[in-house]
Amino acid sequence: YTADMAGTKRLLLETGFMTVTKATYSKDGSKLAFIEQAYEEALVTVIDIKTGNVNVINDETVELGDVIMGVRLNDDGTKLYVMSGNNTYALREYDFATSTYTVIVDNILVESDIMLSDGYLYYCDVVDEYEAVVRKSVLGGERELVHKGAQFTLSPDGTKLAVIADCHQVICITHL
C-alpha cells in the first residue's frame, strides 16, 4: 500500500508469501523500489507510481545473490542502486533506459545498506582491516574513507553522517 497524508490507502501490489524488508522512493516520488524476501529468494521490485507499471529487476536473467541489503533510486528515478551478494557483495547500478546492470564495486566484505546523497553512494566495507563507512561517486573514481564504523545513517539533507564507531557503540556525527 501507499497512503497519502490523509491516510487514504492505495493497493500497489500483492506480494504473496514474500516479506517486504526495505523500500525507498525516488526523490521526485515517481518510483518506489523495494526488496521482497522469502526463504532462499530475494527480489527487487520497482513500481512506477504514476502508471502502476511493475518491474521485477532481478529475474532469471539477472543474478543478484541470495542477500539483498539495500536499494536506492536516484533523484529522478532513472537509475537504481543495489547492494547484494552471497559471501561477498557488490554494489550495482541498474539503468532503466537500457535495462542493464553495471557493477560499480565488487568484493565488498561487509553486509551493508546503501545511502545516496549529492551524487555519492555511501556503504560499509573493510578498509585497512577495519569496518568503515566509505563513499563512491556515481560517476566513478576511487572510493573514499569517510569514518570507521559498521553502521550508519545520513541526515535527510545529506550534510551529516551518524556512525556507530566501535564495539562500545559510540555514535559519532561527521559533517560532510
| Alpha-carbon gap, residue 104 to 140, rounded angstroms | 8
Please tell me the pTM assigned to this model: 0.82
Place of cell 566509505: 134
> Has residue 71 got a pLDDT over 80?
yes
Grid coordinates given for 19:
516479506
| Alpha-carbon gap, residue 122 to 45, rounded angstroms | 21
Mean residue pLDDT across the chain: 83
| Alpha-carbon gap, residue 86 to 66, rounded angstroms | 6
At 5-17, the pLDDT tens digits run 676 666 566 656 5
| Alpha-carbon gap, residue 157 to 118, rounded angstroms | 9
Arithmetic mean of pLDDT, 134-159:
90
CA dist 81 → 7, 14, 69, 171 (Å): 29, 24, 11, 26
Confidence label for 168 from pLDDT (cuts 50, 70 and 90)? low
Confidence label for 38 from pLDDT (cuts 50, 70 and 90)? confident
- pLDDT at position 9 is 61
CA dist 126 → 11, 35, 103, 150, 159 (Å): 41, 25, 18, 9, 23
Arithmetic mean of pLDDT, 113-131:
92
Q: Are 123 and 134 in contact (CB under 8 A)?
A: yes
| Alpha-carbon gap, residue 6 to 29, rounded angstroms | 17
| Alpha-carbon gap, residue 128 to 132, rounded angstroms | 9
DSSP letter string, 22-89 = EEEE-TTSSEEEEEEEETTEEEEEEEETTT--EEESSSTT----SEEEEEEE-TTSSEEEEEEESSSE
Arithmetic mean of pLDDT, 101-130:
92
